[in-house]
Structure 1
Amino acid sequence: MTQIFGSCNRYVQGYGELEKMHQHVNWMGTRFFVVGSPRRLASLKEIIQEAMMEAEDLVFEEFGGECSWAEVDRLIQMVKDSGSQAIIGVGGGKVADTVKVVAHQCGIRVVIVPTIAASDASTSAASLLYREDGTIEEVLNFPESPDLVLVDTRVILYSPVRLTVAGMGDALSTYIGGKVCYDHYYDNHFGAKGTHTALAIAKLSYDMLMQYGRQAKKAAEQQVITHAFNAVIEVNILMSGLGFENNGSSIDHSFFFGTLALPDREEQVYHGEGVAFSTCCQMVMNGASNEELDEVFQFCVDVGLPVTLEDMGLTDLTEEEYNIMTEAVLQEVFTQNSPSDVTFEMVLGAYKTADAIGKMYKAGGKLI
């Protein structure tokens, strides 16, 4: 049995850490190419310039807005023309995914500076490529993970609270889906079996969410740094990333992706928010106990993650729409990573029962 554990080369997290960037990247070379959204570059460019004064060359370029092949090809040419030895992505998941592709294609180092804690894209060795209309074109997997993930908690602190909570929703799925893969010897995202280390990280991420998630949201609302806030940022960005890649994915995301198959229904939730409800559905389908369901549903209600279809922006669903969602779940590749064969009836039952349980918890009821 082959087991693989992969991770970013180095992870740095701290308040004001962006001001120390050069000491973290100077081993990569002297010429750097920085990509960020117009808004992020407007607020952080001066800090980065001052931090990187010792660099021989520092080129800034605004992100085009979509992680597409057109944007990747544009940046590849600019990076080659600049002679840069490393690319630095400053922003959210799409910026991170874009610079990972560019770095791989150019054979240079890659640094990710997440400005939100809404997902675990920063640490992963994969990128989602989108078409210009916003639909997913392909998933790229790289033989290497990012060289450095640099998290300045001061930057994260002033990002929208809802995005940090969405990151908790994405992280919530890490252990619940990963344990299914570990227990049943399904391959992880590196094409091998998971390790004890990987499962321990995933379990710790879940435990820390339960312990610190509610506090962390309160701190984020007050825009103050606390132990709980720091802990949850580490969970959302580092532990969730290591956990999902190294354990693998089950049906924890599939129920969310099923909702995206509905025609004429606009997506109204962030990725992590949708994953939270999807994870609730997985637990119902896999026969979680009342105690297990109570912990997760109550947590989601407390921090403001979706627990009903209405929370997902899906009201007055028709049976035809339920059928569309259910069939889409059955087509998702990771749906097959389940304890037993997944049927139409199981998926439909999970959607409707999770929704009913969520309504009960929002009304003040409980399973135990």
Structure 2
Amino acid sequence: MSLRTVISPSRYVQGAGAIRRLGEYLAPIGARPVVVADDLVWGMVGHDVETSLKSAGLPVRRETFRGLPSAAEVDRIAGVLQETGADVAVAVGGGSAIDTVKAAGHLAGIRWANCPTVASTDAPCSALSVIYTENGEFEEYRFFPRNPDLVLVDSQVVANAPVELLAAGVGDALATWLEARATAQSNSTTMAGGLPTVTGTALAKLSWEVLWDNALQAVDAVRDSQVTPAVEKVIEANTLLSGLGFESGGLAAAHAVHNGLTAVAATHGLAHGQKVNIGSIAQLVLEGAPSGEVRDFVEFTTRVGLPTTLTEVGLRSDDHDSLRAVADAATAEGETIHAMPFEVHSRDVASALASIERFATRVRREAKLPDPVPYLAHA
């Protein structure tokens, strides 16, 4: 008999100014940390991280992250961790740095901690990494025997980041409930390695509810770099609730479509959550969800600032070759789309994606929202 399971990080800390206490929370985990961050992130928070580590009596050693969670970058960081004798790897940055450090920490046989500077993905809390090819295409999921020992989020740092990144996190997190309810229906295995629990599914639904109540207000606050109760709730929903919900609740079509979208070069400049949002709409279409439910989702996520049409992710509904490439990758053997409570074939995904354009554009016009702008116009 398959077992049900919930997994989670050992400690989650969130609040304005939290980064200044990073050393305090790291000290019980390890005495020889190596911090991994890219130059942009280090320029913004490096001083606070250094001061925090020194005040806790910890050495300051930073390794530069090169921007892509590829197998080669994971191996390089793992080598640095081993050469320096580090006993805890600390990711400071976004989902790419975090996924790289989790995988590298595992290879090096040491503990790891995450300090996300954005709330753009649910990567910080999980015991898995998404690995990409050097060209930016999805390659594999890597699963680890434990979750991070610490996840520390400074709400002010998140509020200082571009608002598009918070919006992308909302896109990633909204998919959590759509996928968890599908996984619960099919009683499929989750990313935690067991059947879904009531707890995992409930946390996924709570993430959805918090976002529908707070996301628009939070996005407006972050446009002015303000931390409000709505911002705190959305950061928690994007990071902790969605992290627990996707991992112990299950993934389904939305993230599989995201992975498929990475097979098309035109989408590579988009944030993870932006592509996931297209996957969520595709999943609703595949489910035959009531028109009102799809309409509400398109309108809400457009207002949040997420793409809801193919145009906005660099595709066209009449580009059959690209849509077929996306659909083939999304339905590859082992993909999470097979956790849907019915069979899904490549042609089904291609049709669902092609159908989004007209419907979403009409919804936007009826709601007096802007027409889609081609993705390249943003680049």
**TM-score normalised by the chain length of structure 2:** 0.90
Any conservation in 1 of the 2:317–2:353 contact (CA below 8 Å)? no
Q: 1:2 maps to what in 2? A: 3
**AA of the residue aligned to 1:267:** H
* Aligned CA distance change for structure 1 residues 234 and 6 (closer, same or farther; 3 Å): same
Q: CA deviation at 1:261?
A: 3.0
Report the counterpart of residue 46 of structure 1 in structure 2: 47
Moved more, 212-221 or 49-58: 49-58
Q: Which has the higher mean CA deviation after the structures are superposed, 28-37 or 72-81? A: 72-81
> Counterparts of 1:18-29 in structure 2 under 5 Å?
18-29=19-30
User: Which stretches in structure 2 are left out of the alignment for 5+ residues?
Assistant: 369-379
Question: In structure 2, what is the equivalent of residue 300 of structure 1?
Answer: 301
Aligned AA (1:312): V
TM-score scaled by structure 1? 0.93
C-alpha distance in structure 1 between counterparts of 2:282 and 2:247, whole Å: 21
Question: 2:85 aligned with 1:116, yes or no?
Answer: no
Distance in structure 2 (CA, Å) of the matches to 1:278 and 1:328: 13
Q: Within 5 Å, which residues of 2 pair with 1:104-253?
A: 104-253=106-255
Residues 1:330 and 2:340 aligned together: no
Q: CA deviation digits over 1:14-53, x for unaligned, max 9?
A: 0001111222122123221111101222222221121122
Provide the C-alpha distance between the structure 2 equivalents of 1:135 and 1:82, rounded to a whole number of angstroms: 31
- Deviation of 1:365 after TM superposition, in Å, equals 5.1
* Partner Cα distance (1:268, 1:47) in 2: 29
Structure 1 residue aligned with 2:97: 95
Change (3 A) 1:288 1:273: same
What amino acid is the match of 2:205? K
Q: Indicate the percent of aligned positions where both proteins have the same amino acid.
A: 33
| 1:134 aligned partner, one-letter code | G
2:261 alignment partner AA: T
SS at match of 1:306: coil
Gaps of 5+ in 1: none
Question: Residues 125 and 142 of structure 1 are in contact (CA less than 8 Å); yes or no, is this contact kept in structure 2?
Answer: yes
Deviation at 1:222, TM superposition (A): 1.4
Cα 1:13–1:268 change in 2 (3 A) is same
Shift of 1:291: 3.2
How far did 1:268 drift? 4.5
The RMSD of aligned alpha carbons is 2.0
Q: Distance in 2 between matches of 1:123 and 1:327?
A: 30
The answer as to whether partners of 2:137 and 2:263 remain within 8 angstroms in 1 is no
Q: How far apart are the structure 1 equivalents of 2:203 and 2:214?
A: 16
In structure 1, C-alpha distance between the alignment counterparts of 2:206 and 2:330, rounded to whole Å? 28
Q: What is the deviation of 1:201?
A: 0.4
Go from structure 1 to structure 2 and tell me whether the alpha carbon gap of 1:222 and 1:42 turns closer, same or farther (over 3 Å shift).
closer
Tell me the CA shift for residue 109 of structure 1: 1.8
Across the two proteins, how many residue pairs are aligned to each other?
365
Shift of 1:101: 1.7
Question: Does structure 1 retain, via aligned residues, the 8 Å contact 2:324–2:347?
Answer: no
Counterpart Cα distance in 1 of 2:5 and 2:157: 33
**Counterpart Cα distance in 2 of 1:51 and 1:295:** 44
